[in-house]
């Protein structure tokens, strides 16, 4: 439900309005300017109903004007509806000149007021949508299913997505971590004929091998110890929709065979089941490793690669999309400023220089995180380089040992520390962290459970 803020010093009126409007809106109410502004900043309502005569001087409008001014300075698009007495023509006029959306004269008739409020929300939403479209069409900026870009590399990506979306073939999305693989998969789904069906993502690298098979294909009751009931897998959930297999390079050999069989025959078998189940799902897969290398090393089936990679979509690194960095930075700045209720206008010249020259190993995700951090940290209306957190050393503390620690305690501490940092370094990719630590994936899972990671 949309949020509506009511500001009136009269308790009875507040109660009456709240009672009358709560069916249609989430109603917040405040009795003075301070409370009103605090609610406003916290909840960011699109529409405010404001009585100008607020304490400490209820008979004047000064406090009400101040409140109106602050609300509009914070969020100029807010629709503020002024409630006035009979003889307050001049003050009403002034409020409208200051940017109030509309006014309403006491005594309040709930049905009439409802019409005005409803129209205010409607207008707000239209303006917002217009702004979004305007941003998308702004100069050369292009948006496709939530992906933004204007450099030639991304325009190529968009053009491929448009072409493949409606064709129902499998797509393999290749790109480094944080380049937007999942976003691209969702864009393809949302533009396909399956858009009203489910989009089912599963990360093949994040689920222990022993569980992955029944996650994907489901299992019959009694298929193995612990299989107390029949379970549908992700394939079946994706019926009439799209199954997104993230980190396909991590798919174990036996499941590669099952996937290949699905791609050829459109049927699957649950673990412990004999029945062939027909599933109508489109496969989109993603990987951040070079599949050709995995094929050479015998880890990935060549025949599966040919089936699944009928169309390959390559997402460029962010460092290869220099022309998009400020576009994305501004996009994230607007998004997080609104989210955290901050008024930040832009970036200083040195911040721009930094953003454009940095190498972005974590790609768009890193950019998004850094801008989010900057919006939270910034104390002025301009983002400066230090807000972006480039100068800080990694915050992780070195392991320290206290006197009187047993050898076992010390060992545990080092073990935990090494596991955390390896998992972090690989962005939560357990398989890679296990390789680095020189242990098997199940062992790493056991250790993580033991240390409560």
- Residue 149 contacts ligand ATP per CB under 6 A: yes
Smallest gap from Cβ 116 to ligand ATP, in A, equals: 37
Q: Looking at 44-52, 173-181, 430-438, 443-451, which segment touches ligand ATP (CB under 6 A)?
A: 173-181
- Residue 178 contacts ligand ATP per CB under 6 A: yes
- 70 contacts: CB under 8 Å, gap ≥ 6: 37
Q: Looking at 88-96, 181-189, 362-370, 428-436, which segment touches Mg ion (CB under 5 A)?
A: 181-189
Contact set for ligand ATP, span 224-283 (CB under 6 A): none
- Residue 182 contacts Mg ion per CB under 5 A: yes
Smallest gap from Cβ 315 to ligand ATP, in A, equals: 7
29 binds, among ligand ATP, Mg ion, none (CB under 5 to 8 A by kind): none
Smallest gap from Cβ 280 to Mg ion, in A, equals: 25
Smallest gap from Cβ 312 to ligand ATP, in A, equals: 15
Nearer to ligand ATP, 75 or 183 (CB): 183
Q: Which two tokens stand for residue 152?
A: 């030639």
- The answer to whether 178 touches 282, Cβ cutoff 8 Å, is no
Smallest gap from Cβ 246 to Mg ion, in A, equals: 5
Nearer to ligand ATP, 19 or 340 (CB): 340
Nearer to Mg ion, 35 or 182 (CB): 182
Query: Look-up: residue for tokens 């489910």?
Result: 198
Q: Looking at 67-75, 86-94, 175-183, 440-448, which segment touches Mg ion (CB under 5 A)?
A: 175-183
Instruction: Out of 121, 148, 158, 336, point to the residue binding ligand ATP (CB under 6 A).
Output: 148
Distance of CA 251 to the CA centre of its chain: 26
Instruction: Out of 62, 183, 231, 311, point to the residue binding ligand ATP (CB under 6 A).
Output: 183
Q: Looking at 29-37, 58-66, 143-151, 343-351, which segment touches ligand ATP (CB under 6 A)?
A: 143-151
> Using CB atoms, what's the residue nearest to ligand ATP?
180
Contact set for ligand ATP, span 189-228 (CB under 6 A): none
Written in H, E and C, the secondary structure of the chain is CCEEEEECCCHHHHHHHHHHHCCCCEEEEECCHHHHHHHHHHHCCCEEEEECCCCCCCCCCHHHHHHHHHHHHHCCCCEEEEEECCCCHHHHHHHHHHCCCEEEECCCCHHHHHHHHHHHHHHHHHHHHHHHHHHHHCCCCEEECCEEECCHHHHHHHHHHHHHHCCCCCEEEECCCCCCHHHHHHHHHHCCCCCCCCEEEEECCCCCHHHHHHHHHCECCCCCCCCCCCECCHHHHCCCCEEEEECHHHCCHHHHHHHHHHHHHCEECCECCCCCEECCCEEEEEECCCHHHHHHCCCCCHHHHHHHCCEEEECCCHHHCHHHHHHHHHHHHHHHHHHHCCCCCEECHHHHHHHHHCCCCCHHHHHHHHHHHHHHHCCCCEECHHHHCCCCCCCCCCCCCCCCCCHHHHHHHHHHHHHHHHHHHCCCCHHHHHHHHCCCHHHHHHHHHHHCC
Rounded-to-integer distance, Cα 402 and Cα 410, Å: 9
Nearer to Mg ion, 51 or 250 (CB): 250
Q: Looking at 49-57, 174-182, 194-202, 374-382, which segment touches Mg ion (CB under 5 A)?
A: 174-182
Nearer to ligand ATP, 206 or 354 (CB): 206
- The answer to whether 170 touches 285, Cβ cutoff 8 Å, is yes
Smallest gap from Cβ 182 to Mg ion, in A, equals: 4
Nearer to ligand ATP, 232 or 421 (CB): 421
Q: Looking at 86-94, 135-143, 177-185, 335-343, which segment touches Mg ion (CB under 5 A)?
A: 177-185
263 binds, among ligand ATP, Mg ion, none (CB under 5 to 8 A by kind): none
- The answer to whether 284 touches 243, Cβ cutoff 8 Å, is yes
> Using CB atoms, what's the residue nearest to Mg ion?
182
Smallest gap from Cβ 318 to ligand ATP, in A, equals: 8
Contact set for ligand ATP, span 292-331 (CB under 6 A): 328
| Per rule CB under 5 A, count of chain residues that contact Mg ion | 1
- Residue 365 contacts ligand ATP per CB under 6 A: yes
- The answer to whether 237 touches 276, Cβ cutoff 8 Å, is no
- The answer to whether 416 touches 453, Cβ cutoff 8 Å, is yes
| Per rule CB under 6 A, count of chain residues that contact ligand ATP | 17
Which residues make up the interface to ligand ATP (CB under 6 A)? 147-149, 175, 177-183, 288, 328, 364-365, 368, 427
Which residues make up the interface to Mg ion (CB under 5 A)? 182
């Amino acid at each position: 439900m949309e949020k509506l803020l009511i500001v009136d010093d009269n308790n009875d009126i507040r109660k009456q309005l709240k009672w009358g409007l709560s069916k249609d809106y989430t109603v917040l109410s405040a009795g003075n300017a301070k409370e009103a502004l605090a609610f406003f900043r916290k909840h960011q309502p699109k529409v405010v109903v404001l009585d100008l005569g607020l304490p400490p001087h209820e008979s004047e409008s000064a406090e009400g004007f101040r409140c109106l001014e602050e609300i509009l300075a914070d969020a100029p698009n807010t629709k503020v509806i002024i409630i006035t007495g009979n003889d307050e023509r001049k003050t009403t006029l002034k409020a409208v000149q200051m940017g109030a959306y509309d006014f309403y004269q006491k005594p309040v008739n709930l049905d009439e007021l409802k019409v005005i409020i409803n129209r205010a929300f409607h207008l707000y939403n239209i303006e917002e949508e217009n702004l979004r479209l305007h941003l998308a069409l702004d100069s050369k900026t292009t948006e496709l299913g939530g992906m933004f870009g204007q450099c030639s590399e991304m325009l190529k990506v968009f053009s491929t997505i448009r072409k493949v979306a409606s064709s129902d073939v499998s797509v393999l999305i290749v790109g480094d971590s944080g380049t937007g693989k999942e976003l691209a998969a969702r864009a393809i789904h949302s533009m396909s004929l399956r858009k009203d069906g489910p989009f089912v993502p599963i990360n093949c690298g994040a689920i222990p091998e022993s569980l992955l098979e029944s996650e994907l294909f489901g299992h019959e009751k009694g298929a193995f110890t612990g299989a107390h009931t029949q379970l549908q897998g992700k394939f079946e959930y994706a019926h009439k929709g799209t199954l997104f297999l993230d980190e396909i390079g991590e798919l174990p050999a036996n499941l590669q065979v099952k996937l290949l069989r699905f791609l050829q025959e459109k049927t699957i078998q649950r673990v412990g089941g004999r029945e062939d189940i027909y599933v109508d799902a489109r496969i989109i897969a993603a990987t951040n490793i070079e599949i050709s290398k995995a094929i050479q090393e015998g880890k990935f089936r060549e025949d599966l690669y040919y089936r699944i990679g009928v169309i390959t979509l390559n997402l460029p690194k962010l460092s290869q999309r220099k022309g998009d960095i400020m576009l994305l930075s501004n996009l994230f700045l607007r998004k997080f400023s609104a989210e955290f209720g901050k008024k930040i206008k832009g970036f200083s010249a040195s911040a721009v220089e930094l953003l454009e020259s940095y190498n972005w190993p974590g790609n768009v995700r890193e950019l998004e995180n850094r801008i989010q951090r900057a919006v939270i940290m910034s104390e002025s209306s301009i983002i400066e380089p230090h807000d972006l957190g480039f100068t800080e050393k990694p915050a992780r503390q070195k392991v320290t040992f206290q006197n009187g620690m047993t050898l076992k305690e010390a060992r545990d501490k080092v073990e935990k520390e090494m596991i955390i940092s390896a998992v972090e370094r690989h962005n939560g990719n357990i398989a890679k962290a296990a390789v680095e630590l020189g242990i098997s994936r199940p062992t790493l899972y056991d250790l993580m459970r033991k240390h409560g990671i």
